[in-house]
Amino acid sequence: MIYLNGQYMPIEKAKISVLDRGFIFGDGVYEVIPVYSRRAFRLESHLQRLQHSLDGIRLPNPHSGAAWTAIINELIARNAPQDQYLYLHITRGVAKRDHAFPNPPVKPTVFMMSNPLLTPPAALLASGVGAVSAEDNRWLRCDIKAIALLPNVLLRQMAIDAGCAETILIRENEFMTEGAASNIFVVKNGKLLAPPKDNLMLPGITYDVVLEIAAASHIPHEVRRIAAVEVFAADELLLTSSTKEVLAITTLDGKPVGTGKPGPMFARLHKLYQDFKRDVMRQPSPLPPGEG
Ligand code: PDD
């Protein structure tokens, strides 16, 4: 079951206009929210990031936080899997084709669907994945989770064409930003390095979790700009996203990263992430005082 503009329906029944500005211009934003044991993970952070994206494209938020929460919980309830990932998509609505915003404004299109959350299988965790590097040729507002993903699509396909899983993006031949659809961490001499959240990368929710886990477990870490040369000389490379969680990158441009096998930092962070999922994400939120 999906949600479209106020109604729940099977995906086959869902229809939108060919004049939707999402279809015509890619004029919209999206979110991907993982659901563990039927609970939306870090919903508040996802809704804050959604607000940031909407502000970035000057589109008023069609719903309050409470209304979003109700729609999201209803969609989770109407879909069977315990673990799901929700795809939430808002466009500037349906209007005659004109680059300028519709005036007066029209109702935004709101679409949400649920898919089973399939995290990476054991074999992939054990082997790690390959990556290629490429020039980050996207725009300067990569902090907006825009539905216009053509650069990311082309960049990701470079990895697939090389038999790899992800493309690591380098700006101006100088420094690393992120992956085509993930955030990237570098490990050197036992230290976890992460690029700073700025306009050149998507502020990942999984990125936040990994840095929080590292801090709580006293893992040496630093958030700073990472030079391209450091990526190519890394002991380990990790990628993170809501659907992939934490994965080791074991080859880059056909050469082994470190030993060419998932390293000790990956093993530690992956275990801590799974512990966190079991102990925090899957547990019911504590009842407010006076209830239960
Ligand atoms: N993508 N950077 C980019 C460019 C991304 O597309 C994503 C996620 C991330 C990681 O963000 P998070 O940890 O919040 O998932 C970083 C999602 C999964 C997608 O487009 O399907």
Which ligand 1 atom is nearest residue 242's CA?
Answer: 15
* Helix, strand, coil percentages in the chain from 3-state DSSP, rounded to 5: 30, 30, 40
pLDDT the model gives residue 5: 98
- 13, 15, 107, 145: the catalytic one is 145
Q: For 254, left (φ over 0), alpha (ψ -120 to 50), or beta?
A: left
pLDDT the model gives residue 211: 98
Decide if 265 contacts 187 (C-beta within 8 A): yes
Q: How far is the CA of 290 from the centre of ligand 1 (A)?
A: 39
Angle, in degrees to the nearest 10, between helices 43-56 and 205-216: 130
pLDDT the model gives residue 21: 98
The tokens of 94 are what?
A: 């349906």
Q: How far is the CA of 181 from the centre of ligand 1 (A)?
A: 5
pLDDT (tens, 9 = 90+) of the chain, 292 residues, equals 999 999 999 999 999 999 999 999 999 999 999 999 999 999 999 999 999 999 999 999 999 999 999 999 999 999 999 999 999 999 999 999 999 999 999 999 999 999 999 999 999 999 999 999 999 999 999 999 999 999 999 999 999 999 999 999 999 999 999 999 999 999 999 999 999 999 999 999 999 999 999 999 999 999 999 999 999 999 999 999 999 999 999 999 999 999 999 999 999 999 999 999 999 888 876 554 444 3
pLDDT the model gives residue 290: 45
Which ligand 1 atom is nearest residue 201's CA?
Answer: 2
Query: Domains of the chain, with CATH numbers?
Result: 2-116 (3.30.470.10), 122-279 (3.20.10.10)
DSSP one-letter code for 103: S
- The contacts of residue 233 (CB under 8 Å, 6+ apart) are 188
pLDDT the model gives residue 287: 53
pLDDT the model gives residue 27: 99
pLDDT the model gives residue 52: 98
pLDDT the model gives residue 286: 58
Q: Does the active-site annotation cover 145?
A: yes
